[in-house]
Structures are given as C-alpha cells and as structure tokens.
Amino acid sequence: MNKTICRVVVLGAVSLLSTGPASSGLAVSVLAVSAPATTTAAAQTVAEKAVQIRARALLEEFYAVKLERLWAAFTPDVKAQWGTFDGFTQYRKTGVEQFGAQKELVAEKTFVRGGVTYYVRSATFEKSPQVVWAVAFGFDQLGRVSDFGISLEHDRSGDQVALGSF
C-alpha cells in the first residue's frame, strides 16, 4: 500500500489540502498559517514580490507539465509527499486530464508567516469552471519550496444567482 503524507495549510478561512497521489491511508500533518485578508501590490515586501515572480514561473511550468525545476526546488519533506518524481508527474498529468487548463485567475496573494513566504493563486479550470481551486507555495528563507498544496477553495455552483423571470 502506497502511503502519502499530505500537508494542510490553513490560510485564514481557506483550508488548502495538498492532494497527493490517490491512495488509501493518507497521513496528514497540519501547518497552521494565518493570512491577511488581502495583500496589495503596493504593500508587498521585496521578498513577497520575488516569491510572486518565482512562483508564477514555477506554476506556468507546473501547468505545462514541465516539472523538473519545481521538483528540484522542493525540500526533501515536500518531495516525500509525492514519493518520487514519477509519482508527482503522474499526479500532474491526472490533474490536466480531469480539470484542463486554467480558465480564470480569481486572485493572487503573498504573505510572510514564520519565516516562510507564501504565494497563493486562486483559479478556475476549463472542465470545472464553477469550482475555484487554490494553489499554494511556501518558500523558506533559502528559496526552497517548503510547502506546496492544491485544494478546493470555493464551489460557486451553489451560489445564488439571478435566474429566470425578468
């Protein structure tokens, strides 16, 4: 049985669960992080801006299933979540098949907590445009990806909308 360690990053009211390879018996560790409601571009620190630029580049490669640089940036603990590079690659390929390409960028934010600089991108994807997913990167002081997770942030499909009778 393949056991996977997943890390939960709690960002204010949003819980980001790193969805590792599908397997039974997931072990979960928790890292609590409180995020500010918003971070404006003007309020970003130099570290936050640098992380935003780097995370965007790594995310573009992640979306394109070019995973070598991201894998190399992972700390040993993050790599252990996926087991092997092949396991991480299969996880990403499955994500592409199930959800398609990014359709809408909903929000981005950066913040620093406990010596880790976080980048969080909220977005929808072609095959489930009503669901907002959050991708989170945490960069340690050495610039390594010490936290990585993807989780459901918001399901808009049940939101109240104006329908019918006008």
DSSP labels, 64-133? TT--HHHHHHB-HHHHHHHSSHHHHHHHHHHHHHHH-SEEEEEEEEEEEETTEEEEEEEEEETTEEEEEE
Q: Are 130 and 161 in contact (CB under 8 A)?
A: no
Burial of 102 (0-12, 13-18, 19+ CB in 10 A): middle
Asked whether residue 143 is domain-assigned, the answer is yes
pLDDT tens digits for range 116-154: 999 999 999 999 999 999 999 999 999 999 999 999 999
- Which CATH number does the domain housing residue 129 bear? 3.10.450.590
As a whole number, the mean pLDDT across the chain is: 78
The rounded percent of the chain whose pLDDT value lies above 90 is 65
Please say if the pLDDT value at position 166 is more than 50.
Answer: no
Structural domain boundaries, residue 129: 46-155
Evaluate whether residue 2 is within a structural domain: no
Q: In b/e form, how buried is each residue of 121-147, taking b as 16+ CB within 10 angstroms?
A: bbbbbeebeebbbbbbbbbeeeeebbb
pLDDT given for residue 158 in this prediction: 79
- The pLDDT assigned to 161 comes to 54
User: Which tens digit of pLDDT belongs to each residue from 29-64?
Assistant: 233 344 444 444 557 888 899 999 999 999 999 999
Residues above pLDDT 70, as percent of the chain: 70
User: What is residue 160's predicted lDDT score, i.e. its pLDDT?
Assistant: 55
Based on its alpha-carbon atoms, the radius of gyration of the chain, rounded to whole angstroms, reads: 16
- The reply to whether 70 falls in a domain is yes
Q: What is the mean pLDDT of residues 8-24?
A: 35
The rounded distance, in Å, linking the Cα atoms of 108 and 121 is 4
Range with lowest mean pLDDT among 41-50, 82-91, 100-109, 136-145: 41-50
Domain count, the chain: 1
CB atoms within 10 A of CB 54: 18
> Does residue 28 lie within any of the structural domains?
no
pLDDT score at 44? 81
Alpha-carbon distance of 152 to 16, in angstroms, equals 7
Residue 83 confidence (pLDDT) above 50: yes
How far apart CA 114 and CA 140 sit, in angstroms, is 9
> Would you say residue 89 lies in a domain?
yes
Measured distance CA(49)–CA(107) in Å, rounded: 15
Kindly tell me if the per-residue pLDDT of 4 is higher than 50.
Answer: no
Residue 95 lies in a domain: yes
